[in-house]
Amino acid sequence: MEAKEAKTLNKLRPGEGGRIVSVVGSGLLRRRILEMGLVPGTEITLKGMAPLGDPIEVLVKGYSLTLRRQEAEAVTVEVS
């Protein structure tokens, strides 16, 4: 069985996706990320990003969501 690659959300390429495996950090940043529905086990796809990589747009639970780079760096995804 092949091990799947894990990357932070900001390192994905447009069209790439997978399953969220962890959200790091503490305090308001982590709470905000979790409240947006970015919880472990959730499927997520990177739709696109601004030219300098901030912000990024993702597809999660059937809706588009825009995240700052700092938020994206806190989310680890097991790439599918």
State the CATH architecture for 6-79: Roll (2.30)
The answer, yes or no, to whether residue 11 has pLDDT greater than 70, is yes
CB atoms within 10 A of CB 39: 15
pLDDT at 25: 87
The amino acid occupying position 63 is Y
| Secondary structure letter of residue 65 according to DSSP | E
Every domain of the chain and the residues it spans:
6-79
CB 67 within 8 A of CB 8: no
Using one digit for the tens of pLDDT, what is the confidence trace for 34-68?
Answer: 999 999 999 999 999 998 878 999 999 999 999 99
Using one digit for the tens of pLDDT, what is the confidence trace for 13-33?
Answer: 999 999 999 999 889 999 999
The percentage of the chain sitting over the pLDDT mark of 90, rounded to a whole number, equals 85
Helix, coil or strand: residue 12: coil
